[in-house]
């Protein structure tokens, strides 16, 4: 009878937990980033608390204000500048000042004979059709994007609500985070060493992925933006931000932006600009990814580079931008769980052998 009662309670607990997760699902991004930021800035909160013992509320509030000043306000300024630059670029494309189809025509005109023959075999030499397709695509894109302006206010409202929830939750995580973590550890039905391994790996992966990934992305985006500004590429800030976002994906990253621009320079006769951008992209921008990412991400997550790449791509595909953290986190927990499982089996096997 007691066993039936326990099973019924566990089923009820599972159902209520799923329902609670369903209720929180619309704001899972806010909850996720509150946890991530709390893990990253926990040392700052501990340092403030050490300087003002017994004043948890004040230490947590100062930490949140510091995060707003160091992270949120700079991001808001960059986002505002990005919107202005993107709007200006799109307006120039619509007005015909920037004719992308003509740029493609210039590239094709500059191609050598062997490249033209290769394109002919792929049926890609119908330039008039390509221009018409591109022009119609741009017009359709404008028609699709124009009505979206009506939803900007609602999207902004939802973003402000999510940001408020994140900051509100962040305050309590800073104030009560250690007690909450201890309570979760007590509830997890594992041995103390297993729980310690899981929680430490969780914290290591979050810190390494966010700090390492974002630092690499900022470095590559900034270096690429400086190069574009120096070479006179319009909307350098827009391309810098795009390179930073793409840099969150290891082994692919900023090359998806700077390499086509370098090819365009070479095809249109700007030889030194194209060669300089290729050399700069490989030796400077690429070096940041090849040197910093393994040191900042792979070393602390204890994951092979190929696992980081695959889990990041899969995480972004499933969870969107949040996936660049969730993907490696799931991969790390999966691997450490298997390590714990294998170690437990080995210990059990050794115990049976010693008893025999």
Q: What is the pTM of this model?
A: 0.66
Sign of the Cα torsion 176, 179, 183, 188 reads: positive
Q: CB of 296 within 8 A of CB of 308?
A: no
Report how far residue 205's alpha carbon sits from residue 325's, in angstroms, rounded to the nearest whole number: 8
Tell me 252's DSSP state. T
Q: Which residues contact 324 (CB under 8 A, 6 or more apart)?
A: 209, 213, 248, 249, 312, 315, 316
Report how far residue 193's alpha carbon sits from residue 156's, in angstroms, rounded to the nearest whole number: 45
Q: Which residues contact 241 (CB under 8 A, 6 or more apart)?
A: 78, 82, 221, 225
Q: Which pLDDT value is given to residue 296?
A: 63
Q: Is 170 exposed, middle or buried (0-12, 13-18, 19+ CB in 10 A)?
A: buried
Which tokens hold the place of 156? 């902004």
Residue 303's region, left for phi above 0, alpha for psi from -120 to 50, else beta, is: beta
Mean pLDDT in consecutive groups of 10 residues from the start of the chain, 356 residues: 68 80 80 85 88 87 91 81 72 65 64 64 57 53 44 60 88 85 73 73 74 79 88 82 78 77 80 88 79 63 71 80 79 78 75 70
């Amino acid at each position: 009878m007691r066993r039936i009662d326990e099973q019924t309670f566990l089923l009820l607990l599972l159902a209520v937990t799923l329902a609670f997760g369903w209720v929180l699902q619309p704001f899972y991004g806010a909850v996720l980033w509150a946890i991530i930021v709390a893990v990253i800035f926990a040392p700052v909160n501990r340092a403030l608390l050490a300087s003002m013992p017994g004043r948890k509320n004040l230490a947590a509030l100062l930490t949140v204000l510091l995060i707003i000043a160091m992270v949120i306000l700079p991001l808001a300024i960059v986002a505002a500048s990005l919107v202005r630059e993107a709007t200006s670029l799109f307006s120039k494309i619509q007005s015909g000042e920037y004719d992308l189809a003509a740029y493609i025509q210039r590239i094709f005109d500059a191609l050598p004979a062997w490249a033209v023959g290769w394109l002919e075999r792929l049926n890609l030499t119908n330039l008039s059709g390509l221009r018409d397709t591109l022009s119609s695509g741009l017009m359709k894109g404008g028609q699709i994007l124009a009505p979206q302006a009506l939803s900007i206010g609602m999207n902004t409202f939802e973003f402000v609500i999510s940001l408020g929830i994140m900051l509100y939750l962040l305050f309590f995580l800073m104030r009560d985070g250690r007690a909450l973590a201890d309570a979760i550890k007590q509830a997890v039905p594992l041995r103390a060493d297993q729980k310690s391994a899981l929680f430490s790996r969780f914290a290591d992966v979050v810190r390494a992925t966010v700090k390492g990934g974002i630092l690499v992305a900022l470095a590559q985006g900034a270096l690429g933006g400086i190069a574009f500004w120096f070479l006179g590429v319009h909307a350098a800030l827009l391309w810098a931000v795009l390179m930073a976002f793409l840099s969150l994906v290891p082994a692919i990253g900023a090359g998806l932006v700077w390499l086509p621009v370098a090819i365009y320079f070479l095809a249109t006769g700007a030889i030194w600009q194209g060669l300089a951008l290729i050399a700069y992209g490989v030796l400077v921008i690429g070096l940041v990814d090849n040197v910093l990412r393994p040191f900042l991400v792979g070393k602390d997550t204890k994951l092979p580079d190929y696992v980081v790449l695959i889990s990041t791509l899969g995480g972004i595909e499933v969870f969107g931008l949040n996936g660049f953290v969730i993907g490696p986190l799931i991969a790390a927990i999966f691997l450490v769980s298997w390590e714990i499982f294998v170690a437990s089996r080995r210990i059990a096997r050794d115990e049976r052998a010693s008893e025999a």
